[in-house]
Amino acid sequence: MTFVYSNRSSCIHLKSITFMSVCSHQVIRTCKKMGIRTVAVHSDVDSNAVHVKMADEAVCVGPAPTNQSYLNMDAILHAVRHTKSQAVHPGYGFLSENKEFAKRLAKESVAFIGPDTHAIQAMGDKIESKLIAKAAKVNTIPGFDGVVKNPEEAVKMAQNIGYPVMIKASAGGGGKGMRVAWNDEETREGFRFSSQEASSSFGDDRLLIEKYIDNPRHIEIQVLADKHGNALWLNERECSIQRRNQKVVEEAPSTFLDSVTRRAMGEQAVQLAKAVQYSSAGTVEFLVDSAKNFYFLEMNTRLQVEHPITECITGLDLVEQMIRVAKGYQLQHKQEDIPINGWAFESRVYAEDPYKSFGLPSIGRLSQYQEPPSLNNVRVDSGIQEGSDISIYYDPMISKLITYGATRAEALAKMEDALDSYVIRGVTHNIPLLREIITHPRFISGDISTNFLPEIYPDGFKGHQLQVEEQRELLASAAALYITAQLCSQNVLGNSRVSSIPMECNCWELCAQLGERWHEVKVNTFGDIYMVAVDGEQVEVDGQWNLASPLLPLTINSKHRMLQCLSRDASGLLVLQYLGTSYKVRILSKLAAELNSYMPEKVPEDTSSILRSPMPGTVVAVTVRPGDKVAEGQEICVIEAMKMQNSITAVKQAKVKRVHCKPGETVGEGDLLVELE
């Protein structure tokens, strides 16, 4: 059996399968287990991707832009014919919910590993799916059940429904083409951005509008159905931790649902699946309010990114089940066979800067990449490796990090250890945010909603805020690392070198700078153990001081910590990742610290009169010209990155002096866009 597979989507054959998604690892592993050969389709920039190397065959389907490769049906169908693939697995995105693609495969007598075209069309259109859900007696959100034609009609509908409202794309999903509006002006702006994003992401700019359920939970039900009328619900996934309507951390099961609500949601999800004669794995998403009232949101007719946590608690391989259903087999299980065993979490690791709007895309090459080593019940689904490029063309997801435990506390502890042990260099990543989420008291207690991030971080994410004891631990670790490096530098291949510290010494007096403050540090060594006094408070640091390793497992005052040294230089500056966040610590001798006070400080750039791009992307629109007067908060231009559009606004009332960009241009992070005077 053969599969045609791509890192962006997937195709399956029973003799050969074609893949087209970042779920490649698991899909290919499952196929190998089932004796099915695999074929990967890829764009030219993905020619060295992991899924390409794992598959039995690989076919390039075009250049990097998605409309010329992963959305190029002609090229993908040519690959299917050329490799004689019998089936196609579409993965998570792009053509995974495209009914035309499924129809064209059917004409070629190639199996589509997913539901039939009727179900894709019915559930892929949010307007039609809502009408079907109502008819199937599934709870739905109040709203306008037709297509909103223009901004003024959107305003009228919003006023009739009552603010706040949600404007969203009729086609597609993944948080794209969605905006919350609280007034008429936000409705007009939301209509414009949502229609542009929907057109760019899905080729369909139709929008609908409905009541926004304030402060809800986002809980989804995994369903599995065959071609013989059988359907199961495989329990729920809690997906409330989101930014820009996109999921960040998921867990299964939910802490919020009781058995009665869980069954009611599961039964309604199955009712909907049966109403459209659904056959495959799919997800029915609900919004749940504080009183446990639940409302149908949408149905995703594909394998979800977060499906592994369902596999953890049920023991089912969903990819295997999808392949069996596509082949025509009946389901192997009954509803009473579906368990909830243990607890599972998934953290979506992105190449994003979490300090910018909870995550704006970052691009670059992974100069160093090491997944959490040898941890039990930890799974990493990724499509990249050391040396891989993160580009502006595709979703910035690096991996899905999944942990499992017999209890929620056990699974959370494993996630904390896994995040601390994850080595990613070369791109900015969101591990600082992920770690802060899972260790926050509200998350630990299960007190969450889709507004969790803006409520916890109303002024934006600032990284881990060190407590006094944690600050001492960090400074003591930095001092111990500094002394270790100095001692190592005294000898290179047995040859003595001049060192900045005495050759025969086991006691040092240093100064350490963290932020704007300097601290007195005294270090004594006893073998590998360092006794460090930070401002008079003793800290014991013990560990494996392997300076060549990216991970430094330490014991600090009897507590186990994983430290990562991101960089260190001859000036005594160390950049350390500690408790998920990176900190700059400067360690100097007392004399060097005194002399350092005479060094001039670099004057920061005045950014009030210039606009720089906060992320790499493509300029979609420029709304000003030289000489125009702009008000504070007025839109200057729009940057699209990874299919998300971001409005760049003026920070003050001013006059436009120069415009340095134009629509269609590619810009990098920090590139100058507009000058004001």
Q: Which residues are catalytic?
A: 302
The gap between the terminal CA atoms of the chain, to the nearest Å, is 66
Which among 295, 294, 325 is positioned nearest to 227, based on CA atoms? 325
Contact yes or no for 231/273 (Cβ under 8 A): yes
H helices, E strands: number in the chain: 17, 43
Which residues does 75 contact at the CB level (< 8 Å), separation at least 6? 41, 61, 62, 69
DSSP at 175: T
The SS3 assignment for 180 reads strand
CA–CA distance, 610 with 607 (Å, rounded to integer): 5
Tokens of 474: 């960090």
Which residues does 133 contact at the CB level (< 8 Å), separation at least 6? 140, 272, 275, 296
- DSSP assignment of 297-361 equals EEEE-S--TTHHHHHHHH---HHHHHHHHHHTPPPS--GGG----SEEEEEEEESEETTTTT-EE
Contact yes or no for 461/489 (Cβ under 8 A): no
DSSP at 269: H
Angle at the Cα of 174 from the Cα atoms of 434 and 409, rounded to 5 degrees: 30
Tokens of 343: 């607890």
Compute and round to an integer the Cα radius of gyration of the chain: 27
The SS3 assignment for 25 reads helix
The half-sphere exposure of 95 on its side-chain side, counting CA atoms within 13 A, is: 35
Q: Checking DSSP bridges between strand 368-370 and strand 16-19, what pairing results, if any? A: unpaired
DSSP at 7: B
Which among 390, 387, 413, 415 is positioned nearest to 403, based on CA atoms? 415
CA–CA distance, 160 with 261 (Å, rounded to integer): 31
Query: Phi and psi dihedrals of 12, rounded to 5?
Result: -125, 135
Which residues does 518 contact at the CB level (< 8 Å), separation at least 6? 511, 512, 593
CA–CA distance, 91 with 7 (Å, rounded to integer): 8
Which residues does 661 contact at the CB level (< 8 Å), separation at least 6? 619, 622, 637, 667, 671, 673, 674
For the CA atoms of 100, 101, 104, 108, the dihedral, rounded to the nearest 10 degrees, stands at -160
Which among 671, 663, 640, 648 is positioned nearest to 66, based on CA atoms? 640
The SS3 assignment for 98 reads coil
- DSSP assignment of 378-440 equals EEEEES--TT-EE-SSS--EEEEEEEEESSHHHHHHHHHHHHHT-EEESS--SHHHHHHHHHS
CA–CA distance, 491 with 552 (Å, rounded to integer): 21
Tokens of 600: 């001039």
Which among 209, 213, 223 is positioned nearest to 136, based on CA atoms? 223
Tokens of 3: 């599969």
Whole-angstrom CA distances from 291 to 2, 173, 250 are 49, 26, 21
